[in-house]
Amino acid sequence: MKKLILAAIFCLFAVTTFAQNNALGLRIGSGAELQYDHTFGSGNVLKTNVGLFDFNGSLFGTCIYDWEVCNWADWTPDAGNWFLQAGVGGAVGIVKTENVSDFNIGVAGNVAFGIHFCDAPVTLAIDYRPTIFLLNNSWGSGFGSAGLSCVVHF
C-alpha cells in the first residue's frame, strides 16, 4: 500500500512538473468547442478542439499546429504579451447538412491574434479557422469559422 501511495505521489509530481505548458478553455464562434493547447518552448502551440460546429448538431474536431509569427512583448508590458499565430492541421467530424449526417475529414488552417496576460494564467485570442472538407460534397461549408477563445494555463 505504501508503494502505491508513493507511486501516486511521484506521478502527480511528474505531471505537475511537465504540465506547465498546457492550457484548457473554450472557443466560441461558429460553434462551441472545448480547446486544449500545448505550448512549446519556441512559442509555437499545438491546439486541439472538440465541439459543436454551426450549432446544428454537427460534431467536429481539429488538431492544428500554430507557429508564432509575431510577438509584441513591449506593446503593453503591464498587461501582457500580444501575439500573432498562423498554422495548419487536420479536421474530422460528423457534418450535418439538410437533415443528413455524414462523416467527413479535412484540412484546417488557423490565424490567431491575442494576448497572454502577465498577472493571470489566461490567454484571450480571436481567430479565423477556415476548413476544407474533403468528403461528401461539403468542402466549402467551413470557411466562416471565426471565433473567440479563452484558455487557462496549468
12-40, pLDDT tens digit by residue? 444 444 446 899 999 998 889 999 999 99
Q: Cα–Cα distance between 140 and 95 in angstroms, integer?
A: 12
Please check whether residue 28 lies inside any domain of the structure. Answer: yes
Please check whether residue 14 lies inside any domain of the structure. Answer: no
Contact indicator for 99, 76 with CB cutoff of 8 Å: no
Contact indicator for 88, 65 with CB cutoff of 8 Å: yes
| Host domain of residue 37 | 21-153
Please check whether residue 16 lies inside any domain of the structure. Answer: no
Please check whether residue 12 lies inside any domain of the structure. Answer: no
Please check whether residue 8 lies inside any domain of the structure. Answer: no
Residue 141, pLDDT score? 59
For the chain, the domain total comes to 1
Residue 18, pLDDT score? 47
Residue 26, pLDDT score? 97
Question: What CATH number has the domain bearing residue 75?
Answer: 2.40.160.20
Please check whether residue 96 lies inside any domain of the structure. Answer: yes
Please check whether residue 138 lies inside any domain of the structure. Answer: yes
| pLDDT surpasses 50 at 11 | no
Helix, strand, coil content of the chain in percent (nearest 5): 15, 65, 25
Q: Cα–Cα distance between 150 and 31 in angstroms, integer?
A: 14
The larger pLDDT score, comparing residue 37 to residue 138, is at: 37
Read off the pTM. Answer: 0.79
Mean pLDDT of 75-96: 90
Please check whether residue 1 lies inside any domain of the structure. Answer: no
3-state DSSP call for residue 127?
strand
The larger pLDDT score, comparing residue 48 to residue 103, is at: 48
